[in-house]
Amino acid sequence: MKRRKFLKNSGLTAAGALSAPILSSYSNEMEESNKDVKKAAVRPITVCTWNFKNATAKSWEVLQAGGSSLDAVEQGVRVEEADVTNETVGKGGRPDRDGNVTLDACIMDKDGNCGSVVYLQNIAHPVSVARKVMEETPHIILAGRGAEKFAYEQGFKKEDLLTESTRKQYEEWKKTSKYETTINIENHDTIGMLAIDKNGDIAGACTTSGMAYKVAGRVGDSPIIGAGLFVDNEVGGATATGVGEEVIRTVGSFLIVELMRQGMSPQKACEEGVKRIMKKNKDRKDFQIGFLAINKQGETGGYCVHPGFTYRQYTEAGHENVPVNSFYQKN
């Protein structure tokens, strides 16, 4: 992506996520969803963006033991935060242009409580700091130094998050300092996870090191409640991966949950979410977005801009990597 365009695209447009004319066109989806209500709900269930099978396995273990969906999503995404071979999440995440690894994460529970950290450095598990923000403070978002100080006060340890591999890649990158995204390759491995526990309660979490070689101080969609993640226990949950600026512009996850509230299936809602983004990008297709959603019945859906995005799903029926249809058929 061109740097100027990248900066230009980073505005917030929270208003008007759902307009009246759009609501009137949902009758087919509502019928479809009403039929589904008669089916037995799938629970427990855990899903996450991309093929992070170790994360869903951990999350499933928590759910099977009778744990809450909140514990399941936190424990699940921590697997990726700790995995240094995942170079876009937690420890081992790629740095910004100044060489600093800065992490974004959020978590949301069945009661609509949420916590978030942005631009957090030196702490390997931002999702757990986000949970502490939710549970131990009257606030929702802590940023940068304040978030880091809070983490130490809560007992988190200081760690160097750069690895030999990411340090070397950064040194190499500096030779050209070219900022561009390569669809599905460079930095699209954010983990967003949604789960429903045995009680039927939904929770979600999302964690990332953001776009590699981003401008220092840049925050993406992943820790922004409503953009990278949203949960409403009456309806369902949604999460996103990909170029966060585009997800923020449409308040993507909130939009998808609201579309499901109006009767759309998770699949249709994700498709509509991507279409909204593409309407704002008539001249541009050089980026990937993947949405994943679940409704109260435990039905899931996903959709993306370019082929390549999949999601992992774990239920009593099995543990599978689910391929996702895309807006464009070829990259």
236 sits near ligand SD4 (criterion: CB under 6 A): no
Of residues 102, 181, 190, 250, which has the active-site annotation? 190
User: What's the CA gap between 251 and 330, in Å, rounded?
Assistant: 26
Q: Is 218 annotated as a binding residue?
A: yes
242 binds ligand SD4 (CB under 6 A): yes
Is 190 marked active-site?
yes
Q: What is the DSSP letter of 203?
A: E
Binding mask 164-203 for ligand SD4 (x = CB under 6 A): -----------------------xxxx-------------
268-285 CB burial, b ≥16 within 10 A, e <16 = bbbbbbbebbbeebeeee
Work out which of 33, 86, 88, 265 binds ligand SD4, going by CB under 6 A.
88
Listing DSSP states for 109-130 in one string gives: -TTS-EEEEEEE-S-S-HHHHH
Question: Which residue in 56, 69, 184, 241 binds ligand SD4 (CB under 6 A)?
Answer: 241
| Structure-token match 């629970």, residue found | 43
Q: How far is CA 215 from CA 89, 118, 211, in A?
A: 17, 14, 9
Q: How far is the CB of 241 from ligand SD4 (least distance, A)?
A: 4
Query: Strand pairing partners for 236?
Result: 232, 295
Shortest CB 22 distance to ligand SD4, Å: 25
Distance CA 276, CA 82 (A): 34
Task: Determine, following the binding rule CB under 6 A, whether residue 211 of this chain makes contact with ligand SD4.
Answer: yes
Judged by DSSP in three states, 37 sits in helix
Report, in Å, the least distance between residue 308 CB and ligand SD4.
12
Residues near ligand SD4, by CB under 6 A:
88, 187-190, 208, 210-211, 220-222, 241-244
Annotated binding site for substrate: 218-221, 241-244
Annotated binding site: 218-221, 241-244
Active-site residues: which are they? 190
